[in-house]
Amino acid sequence: MQVAYSNDRLSSRMAVDPSIAGEPEVESSVIEWLLHDDQVMRECFTHAAEILKSVTGAAITAITLLDEEHQHYRAEVGMAMPLVTRARSLADYAVRDADLFVIEDAHDDARFGECMLVQRHPFVRFYAAIALRAPNGEIVGALCAMDPSPGRLNEGQRGVFYHLRAMIENDLKMRTATAIDPLTQLYNRRFLLESIARRWKEARDGDVMGSVVVDVDWFKQYNDTYGHQAGDHCLRKVASVMQAAADGDGIIAGRMGGEEFGLLVLHAEPAALQGTLETLRQGVVDLAIEHRASPLGVVTVSVGGAMTRINESSRAAHRDGFASADRALYRSKHAGRNLVTMA
């Protein structure tokens, strides 16, 4: 059975509100998705930046995306912009306020003495930006305009920022509905499979791709013991471990359905992949989620992994990679579960 493409044992579940009182929100995949995988949103960003440049007359307009450490530019109009650390970016100031953020002359404001765009080319003095949010309220970045000369915005130009933000956030809402699993905030099955096929096709000869299948052990018994609401909470916690792995190691992670997850590891190395998957397995154990129906006493996962070196014969074989990972997963389960097995 090919887990990545067979739906025989992937149970459907009702999506529920993830914001149960006292439960931490699962970190979203939205930033990773926008940085790497969505052509439709890139086109939306480009149109917005072009409109903003036309209306404001600013030398440079762009969409910035913010992860924990960096500001990433998308759809720059006017010049190609460098990667900037978030701590030294202007956008980090802009997203702290729900309203339009405007600096008429950065040289007159001591807050921006360490900002790279002010101190280095293009030596920004005028800057205006408005925060952009994902449907779950997470700040993902900002729409911005900047210029090496001081400047101001009139009321009409200010209004365009708000209109463009509404357009971008509406498109983002529609796209995330088709790409993100509402329960876990990982990629959903369809978008994960599309991403896997695209990344496999784009890989260069000699690249090594890791295919991984993860299954929560004795999950039916967990639901029977604690109820489906507790089961949903459990899946969100396990998903947070998957997302932490994806954030740190160039992994695309998604929910295949039910209690099953799939991961594609880019530029995989045998020893490093084994270590990453062991860390993932242990991370679920460390959640210490009680599971009285499991002989292990806590929620655990079984993991199967396979590696494929890309060449002409394997370029169209992403299905085979996940079939191998699925067989390795079953060896983990038959050997007692809570194990990582490589094909």
The structure's pTM equals 0.62
Given a contact cutoff of 8 angstroms between Cβ atoms, the answer to whether 194 and 156 are in contact is no
Residue 154 has pLDDT above 60, yes or no: yes
State the chain's mean pLDDT as an integer: 86
Question: Binning pLDDT at 50, 70 and 90, where does residue 14 land?
Answer: very low
Topology adopted by domain 35-179: Beta-Lactamase (3.30.450)
* CB burial string 88-103: b at 16+ within 10 A, e below: ebbbbbbbeeeebbbb
Residue 10 has pLDDT above 90, yes or no: no
> What's residue 37's pLDDT?
56
- Return the bridge partners of 66, or none: 71
Question: Binning pLDDT at 50, 70 and 90, where does residue 25 land?
Answer: very low
> What's residue 235's pLDDT?
97
Residue 239 has pLDDT above 50, yes or no: yes
Question: Binning pLDDT at 50, 70 and 90, where does residue 138 land?
Answer: confident
Structurally, at CATH architecture level, domain 182-342 sits in 2-Layer Sandwich (3.30)
| Maximum distance among all Cα pairs of the chain, rounded to whole angstroms | 69
Given a contact cutoff of 8 angstroms between Cβ atoms, the answer to whether 191 and 255 are in contact is no
Average pLDDT over residues 154-179: 93
Please give the share of the chain, as a percent, with pLDDT higher than 70. 90
Average pLDDT over residues 186-204: 87
Distance (Å, whole) CA 6 – CA 25: 30
Distance (Å, whole) CA 232 – CA 234: 5
Rounded to 5°, angle at Cα 171 from 200 and 90: 90
Question: Binning pLDDT at 50, 70 and 90, where does residue 247 land?
Answer: confident
Any idea where the domains of the chain sit in the sequence? 35-179, 182-342
CA-based radius of gyration for the chain? 23
N-to-C CA span, the chain: 15
C-alpha torsion 304→309→315→318, nearest 10:
0
Find where tokens 């993830």 sit: 18
- The reply to whether 35-179 and 182-342 are identical in fold is no
